[in-house]
Amino acid sequence: MSKFVRLNHQITASELRVIDVEGQALGVISKEEALKKAEEVGFDLIEISPNANPPVAKIMDYGKWQYEENRKAKVAKAGSKATETKSLQVKIGTGDHDLELKAKKAGEWLKDGHRVKIELFVSGRAKYFDPKFLEERLDRILRLIPEDYKVAEPTKRGPKGPYLVVERNKAAKKETEPETQEPKQNENQ
């Protein structure tokens, strides 16, 4: 556990909003009175919300509280999935077959939950082409991506040329799946 937690005499506030062992609010009481109540039941006084006004403290077993907090952190860490921004580079003259392969790869990355940065690499005089023409070249690959996506960052001008970032469209994923139907019986039999 990385954050520092004050307990018992380490608490600096003179008044605390205290919660007892059963989870009932005892109201705002002095630190000394709260420590006395914690000692009576044989537990610790733990400052669980130091930034509140007044700070919130709970009467409970510190070891049990620490165990619960560690367990919550592990569950949260296990539920999170690291996503990367994968990069895909195309040129103005990239052929249709190569675009299809790159779009297929982008679809795989989107399916895995990654974001995909699609860059149009321009060099020389191509840097001064009409921006609409360059955007149309980016749109060529977007039309070929098999996975449902949404544009996370619209087209921007980068050092290599225009680029945009797409990510998986989670909302439309369920809506586009066709419903399975029962095979129809032939009525003439």
Domain harbouring 55, CATH code: 3.10.20.80
Tell me how far apart the alpha carbons of residues 136 and 5 are, in angstroms, rounded to a whole number: 56
Residues 52 and 71 in one domain: yes
Residue 174 pLDDT > 60:
no
Instruction: Give 58-116 as a DSSP string.
Output: EEE-HHHHHHHHHHHHHHHHHH-----EEEEEEETT--HHHHHHHHHHHHHHHHTT-EE
pLDDT by residue (tens digit) across 126-169?
Answer: 888 888 888 888 888 888 888 888 888 888 888 888 899 998 88
What pLDDT does residue 104 have? 92
Q: Which tokens sit at 87?
A: 């990069």
Average of per-residue pLDDT across 97-118: 90
Tell me how far apart the alpha carbons of residues 189 and 180 are, in angstroms, rounded to a whole number: 24
Contacts of 127 (CB under 8 A, 6+ apart): 161
What pLDDT does residue 185 have? 47
Strand stretches in 61-175, DSSP E: 85-91, 115-121, 149-157, 162-168
Q: Count CA atoms within 13 Å of residue 141 on its CB side.
A: 30
Residue 2 within any structural domain of the chain: no
Which structural domain, as residue segments, surrounds residue 114? 85-172
Residues 168 and 89 in one domain: yes
Residues 111 and 72 in one domain: no
In 3D space, the residue among 104, 128, 118, 122 whose CA is nearest the CA of residue 160 turns out to be 122
Cβ burial of 79 (10 Å; 0-12, 13-18, 19+) is exposed
What pLDDT does residue 119 have? 92
Evaluate whether 5 touches 58 at the Cβ level (below 8 Å): no
Residues 167 and 131 in one domain: yes
Question: By percentage, how much of the chain surpasses pLDDT 70?
Answer: 86
Residues 90 and 47 in one domain: no
Residue 36 pLDDT > 80:
yes
Residues 161 and 99 in one domain: yes
* Strand-strand pairing, 56-60 and 44-49: antiparallel
Q: What is the DSSP letter of 7?
A: B
Q: Would the pTM count as exceeding 0.85?
A: no
Residue 1 pLDDT > 60:
no
For residue 56, give the 3-state DSSP assignment: strand
* Strand-strand pairing, 15-19 and 56-60: parallel
Confidence of residue 4 (pLDDT cuts 50, 70, 90): confident
